[in-house]
Amino acid sequence: MPWPLIIKGMLTLRDPKTYLFFTSTPNGRRAANDFLARLKERKLDRDKGPTPRAFLRQLSAIQAWGRQAPQDLGRIRIPVLVANGDNDIMVPTFNSRDMARRIPDAELVIYEDAGHGGIFQYHAKFAPKALAFLAA
């Protein structure tokens, strides 16, 4: 449960994404700051943040999903790209490795010194990777 990191964000007056999506290394802190700055670049038609009720319902749904029996991923017959950071505390990296292992011919990309926001931290590498994957 991410509550301790959400509370840490509130106590330090920092966006909780700083702690939830990125590592606490100098590289991770720099990536968090860069990411949060990029989020503010868009001035028009910005998405609204979730209401507290919606946020709590999302956490409840994630917990329920996590308690399910593992699904038979061996039946998936389409290309799958699995991307994660090597230090994801929200969706543990070993789960991404396991999912990629259980899906036939899945492609796994793990970004070094990255957390849940690995695709945001390494957006310059991920975007072309994702576009090439989709074009294949």
| pLDDT of the residue at 22 | 92
Please count the structural domains in the chain. 1
Q: Which structural domain, as residue segments, surrounds residue 67?
A: 3-135
The runs of H, that is alpha helices, within the chain are 3-11, 17-20, 26-39, 52-66, 93-102, 118-121, 123-135
Look up residue 16 and give its amino acid.
P
**98: domain CATH number?**
3.40.50.1820
| pLDDT of the residue at 40 | 87
How does pLDDT run along the chain (136 residues), one tens digit per residue?
Answer: 566 656 655 556 578 788 789 998 999 999 999 999 998 898 888 888 888 898 789 888 878 888 888 889 999 999 999 999 999 988 889 999 999 999 999 999 999 999 999 999 999 999 999 999 999 9
| pLDDT of the residue at 55 | 79
